[in-house]
Amino acid sequence: MKTRTRLILVAACLAMISALVMPALGSATVKIGILGPFTGSLAFNAGEMKKGMELALDEVNAKGGLFGQQIELIFGDTEAKPDKGLAAVKKLVTRDNVLVVGGGYASSVNIATSEFCHYEGCPNVVAIAISPTITNRGYDFVFRTSPNSPQFLEGINEWLAKVKRPKRVAFFMENSDYGRDGQKIWEAQCEKIGAQVLDRLYFEIGSTDFTAAISKLKDKTPDVVFNIASTTEAALIQKQAKELNFVTQWIGVGGQFTQAYFEMTGPVSEYAMGSSLEPTKAMKDPVTAAFVNAYQAKFPGSRPGIFSSQGYDNLQVILDAVERAGKPTGNLAADRKKIRDSLAATNMKLSQGLIRFDKTGQVDTVFPSPVQVQLDNNCKADTQIIYPAERAAAEYQTPKPWDQRRCK
């Protein structure tokens, strides 16, 4: 009985593991490694990124693929943890022998994984992470298709200095590189515009109850609370601010404004701000409009959010570079080097705008705009660009006390 139970359990475990670790298929394919937190608390955002990549893959395949070979995406799950990310990238680079590593989500993870890629001589194109560290260490195999935090916050900082001019501010940050790097930039901006920082609070990823922190913030009566958080935490913070009757101008980076966020918060998120690269906001641009339409055709009922768009652009950049580098010779180190060089020469128009890399491998042509969550006549919440005037679709609205709001 004992041995049998043990055997059954061992067999069950083996079955599970083998289902999770799919064996890499034949070798006559172009192998691209894709990192991302496909399980764990950020898995739904990684899912959006993956959908964007699937669209990109479809489009390239429809045009005949690469060199007549099949493109194989091998996914490595980082679980949003640096140690798991390193294990995943090691497998992709040294065992699966991918030509290039793309994807990636969360700054803390990508700081570690990009360093590994650089020293292995494998090009790494980071899709979603804003910490400046990733590209400012002089690693010539590391590129990033998303703006870094200074670029991301440039628009908001200008708006803070020219429009809002807050006197009393507080920080409520995710305790991670994502949160801490954003805080550094805003701290500097606050000093420049003479805003007093009342408090600096942090929370752990995966927390659910923020009432203690929000009660403390409320007691300090800040005009603006900088709040860098991912979707779930950001949504819960908005809801709990209402429960605690706290009114302030919440400002985040913008990554939280996903479909799931609006489903969770409903009208409660009204007035919250962030930066956005949301493709639906730039429909005047024909390339972006084409992306939005293609995405909605492939995934009916889905809203093409920032992560879908960043995933799409990331894989497009990679496949374009692989194509320009020429058919792989089979000498992995040489192939990777060629791809690195063709990545450096990237120049293409995609869903977020023009993609070109500066000397550090950082995209320097994509600029997000400050957005605010506003409600339409049916109390449906969505982000609107509010600054600068030439791009703005709506006027900034000052947050009203909860009992005076139109939508409950």
Partner 1 sequence: MESLFLQQTLNGLIIGSIYSLIAIGLTMIFGVMKISNFAHGDYSMVGAYTAVFLMAWVPGWMGWVGSIIAAAAVVGILGIVTERLIFRPLIGRWTDIDIIMVSIGLFILLENLAQLFFGATPQMISDPFKGATVHIGGVSTSVLRVFCFGFSCIAIGALQIFLNRSKLGVAIRATSQNRFAAQLMGVDINLIYTLTFWVGAALAGVAGVLYGTTFAVHPLMGAMPTLKAFVVTILGGMGNIRGAIFGGFILGIAESLGGNYLAMEYQHAIGFFIIILVLLLRPRGLFGAKEGT
Mark residues 7-26: x for contact with partner 1 by CB under 8 A, - for none. Answer: --x---x--x----------
Minimum distance of partner 1 from residue 378's CB (angstroms): 17
C-beta of 265 vs 369, nearer to partner 1: 265
Query: Phi, psi (5° rounding) for residue 100?
Result: -155, 150
Q: Which stretch binds partner 1 (CB under 8 A): 67-75, 260-268, 333-341, 372-380?
A: 260-268
Cβ 173 to partner 1 shortest distance, Å = 9
Chain positions 98 to 137 lying near partner 1, rule: CB under 8 A, are: none
Q: Which of residues 142-201 bind partner 1 (CB under 8 A)?
A: 175, 201
The residue written with tokens 């390239």 in the block is 60
Return the range that interacts with partner 1 (CB under 8 A); candidates 64-72, 95-103, 257-265, 349-357.
257-265
Would you count residue 264 as binding partner 1 (CB under 8 A)?
yes
Looking at residues 193 to 252 of the shown chain, list those that interact with partner 1 (rule: CB under 8 A): 201-204, 206-209, 211-213, 215-216, 219, 231-232, 235-236, 239, 242-245
Question: Could you tell me the smallest distance in angstroms from the CB atom of residue 345 to partner 1?
Answer: 36
Check: CB of residue 143 under 8 Å from CB of residue 124.
yes
Which of residues 86, 260, 332, 392 is near partner 1 by CB under 8 A? 260
- Report in angstroms the alpha-carbon separations of 222 from 89, 167, 191, 253, 269: 42, 8, 16, 18, 18
The DSSP secondary-structure symbol of 267 reads G
What's the one-letter identity of residue 202? Answer: Y
Minimum distance, C-beta of residue 257 to partner 1, in the bound complex (Å): 14
Handedness of CA 120, 123, 129, 130 (dihedral sign): positive
Footprint (CB under 8 A) of partner 1, residues 34-93: 39-41, 43-44, 46-47
Spatial separation of the C-alpha atoms in residues 131 and 138, rounded to whole Å: 14
- At its nearest, how many Å lie between partner 1 and the CB of residue 206? 7
How does DSSP classify residue 249? Answer: E
- Residue 381: exposure state from Cβ atoms within 10 A (0-12, 13-18, ≥19): buried
Name the minimum Å distance from CB 87 to partner 1: 16
Residues ≥6 apart with Cβ < 8 Å to 59? 294, 316
Rounded to 5°, the CA angle 210-215-218 comes to: 125
Q: Are 186 and 153 in contact (CB under 8 A)?
A: yes
Among 1, 21, 22, 297, indicate the residue that binds partner 1 (CB under 8 A).
1
User: For partner 1, which is the closer residue by CB, 63 or 408?
Assistant: 408
Could you tell me the smallest distance in angstroms from the CB atom of residue 92 to partner 1? 21
- Among positions 266-285, residues that touch partner 1 (CB under 8 A) are 268
> What is the closest distance, in whole angstroms, from the C-beta atom of residue 227 to partner 1 in the complex?
13
Backbone angles phi, psi at 348, to 5 degrees: -145, 155
- Give the separation between CA 167 and CA 152, rounded to whole angstroms: 23
| Distance in angstroms (rounded) separating the CA atoms of residues 317 and 23 | 26
Q: Is 95 buried (19+), middle (13-18) or exposed (0-12) by CB count in 10 A?
A: exposed
Residues interacting with partner 1, by CB under 8 A?
A: 1-2, 5, 9, 13, 16, 39-41, 43-44, 46-47, 175, 201-204, 206-209, 211-213, 215-216, 219, 231-232, 235-236, 239, 242-245, 260, 263-264, 268, 402, 408
